[in-house]
Chain A
Amino acid sequence: MNLSSKISSGFLFILLLAAVLAPWVAPYSYQAQDMLNILAFPGSEHWLGTDRLGRDLLSRMIYGARVSLFVGVFSTVLALFIGTIYGTLSAYIGGRTDNLMMRVVDVVFALPDLLMIILITVLMGRGVIGVFIALTLVSWVTIARLVRGEVLRIKEYPYIMAARALGASHYRIMLREIFPNILGILVVTLSFRVPVAILAESTLSFIGLGIAPPASSWGTLASDGWTAIKFYPHLILFPSLAIFFTILSFNFLGEGLREFLDPRSAKNG
């Protein structure tokens, strides 16, 4: 692991900790209003300032991290789960079934994904769950394709044939022989797909079609700040920085993991 991915994982760990421990870490409640300090600039009392209702920005960002990270990480994990099962089955069964299953993937792949996410989210009622489901529904296909390619390659290896000759069941071959060999790729994929999901969620929330109040993610906070950017730029600056550094860290982490798990891809890229 190189330096940038070490720093990144440290940053992400602290972030995760802050999100989980939000009620203990945040200096104020996310809805507590400080009427004497409305639209305050960053200072000793409110480290990152307050919004137009006098709510502490740092506290709101710590609570927002819960939503942003939850949606990003868990929708990706679920998509990874679905995509892995689908891709493995498709490649393992092969033949006409494989063909049919992959046509379905092609179709979902051809949809304009952000538009579909918006449609599904809005029609599901703009909550955390809506965004979560929309992201999962759109992103599992990428993973299914990737996994299928890997399994197609692995299933031709002699040791799979050996396992079959020893009488191992299909279930056992898929779970015990094939799965451990794609685990590395899945971990790297997870690391690269989480930022994509976080980006999509924050973009949606920013234009007002994602997470709806009272729940707030970094995207909604940035959206609030956008309306006041001319005179109170810190309100959009800090949530934006949080999104930016989180995505950057996941990307660095992904690169580090890829180099670590596949030394051939290390150079140049």
Chain B
Amino acid sequence: MLRFFLRRVLLGIPVLVTVATLTFLIMHLVPGGPFDSDKILPPEIIANIEAKYHLDEPVAIQYLLYMKQLLQGDLGPSYKYIGRDVSDILRDTFPVSFTLGMCAVLVVLGLGVPAGVISAYWKNSLLDRSILLFAAMGISVPSFVLGALLVWIFSHQWHLLPPALWEGPRYMILPAFALGAGFAGYIARLTRTTVLDVLASDYIRTARAKGLTEFNILLRHVLKNAMYPIVSVMGPLTAGLITGSFVIEFIFSIPGMGRFFITAVTNRDYPLIMGVTLVYAVLIVVANIVVDMIYGWLDPRVSVK
């Protein structure tokens, strides 16, 4: 297990280096720089600013300087939020995005799994068909459309929940739902398929013959065995939730990493773009490792070598 873990962590490093390199290249390949768009400054001042941030060096040197800095754990200063380091900004915004992501995971599992089980158990019933239709709709609805709809209904029409900001649990409900509902549709379908497979197996018949209650059968026998495929897609799914969250952060004015990424891109705040992209990449790598480990722990048949 430990060897598996170490191996996966080591394999993650080249991925992160590539992400850093590619992002760096994309940013610098295009003409123009972070200090172009401001009001017209005297050339000496621009030269000074560029010298300060090493922007006057060749791109290759800038890259090496950045990577050296990065190895020392320093993400550099933000170009636009003067006086703030990228790590400071990330320290403030990461917990917000992380909380939002975890709430969304709860929505995905809390809605998707029960819906899938119900759908499979009463296969072809009206309930099953409605759940399948809702799942198809959930998969097809963009999160910003759902977010806008939720804001309009629950904030503007019924005044039940706040339409924006991030100041407590009540502020989390709408964003988490808007972010998670689409993925819940995927999970509902997947759960339905696997539960149907499990329900048809012999040991379920045995469990019924032993006289276990249907509820016990579903919970102990069916759900436990149907969890494996669900766990195995949670890795890419968590990654999707993480990178998808910036739209939701934009709609609900949530002070998370994603919103800073959007402004960083429009401002060409190179260090901030790099910082946020790298954190996202690390999160994706970590999510995949964690999910694989849970999978190996749940299902001893899968060897984690």
Contact = CB atoms under 8 A, between A and B. Distances in A.
Interface of A: 107, 110-116, 118-120, 122-124, 195, 199, 202-203, 206-209, 222, 226, 229-230, 233, 236, 240, 243-244, 247-248, 251-252, 268-269
Nearest to B141: A244
Given A222-B148, A236-B148, A240-B149, A124 B142 contact: no
B273 A119 contact: yes
Contacts of A124: 30
B277 interface: yes
Contacts of B281: 110-112
Interface string B243-278: 110110011000000000110011000000100110
B280 interface: yes
A269 B22 CA distance: 38
Nearest to B19: A111
Contact of A119 (B27, B192, B196, B284): B27
A235 to B, nearest CB: 11
B172 interface: no
A221 to B, nearest CB: 12
A119 B26 contact: yes
A247 B136 CA distance: 10
Nearest to A125: B30
Given A110-B285, A123-B27, A240 B145 contact: yes
A113 B193 CA distance: 28
A107 B266 contact: no
A107 B12 CA distance: 10
Contacts of B127: none
Secondary structure of the B side of the interface? helix
Q: DSSP majority for the A interface?
A: helix
Contacts, number: 112
B288 to A, nearest CB: 9
A203 B277 CA distance: 18
Contact of B193 (A115, A122, A243, A269): A269
Interface in B14-50: 14-15, 18-19, 22-23, 26-27, 29-30
B246 A230 contact: no
Contacts of B294: none
Given A110-B284, A112-B281, A226 B148 contact: yes
B100 interface: no
A114 B139 contact: no
Contact of A244 (B142, B244, B280): B142
A67 to B, nearest CB: 16
Nearest to B261: A115
B137 interface: yes
B122 interface: no
A207 B142 contact: no
A76 B164 CA distance: 35
A15 B54 CA distance: 52
Contacts of A114: 243-244, 246
Contacts of A118: 261-262, 265
B15 A110 contact: yes
Nearest to A109: B15
Nearest to A204: B247
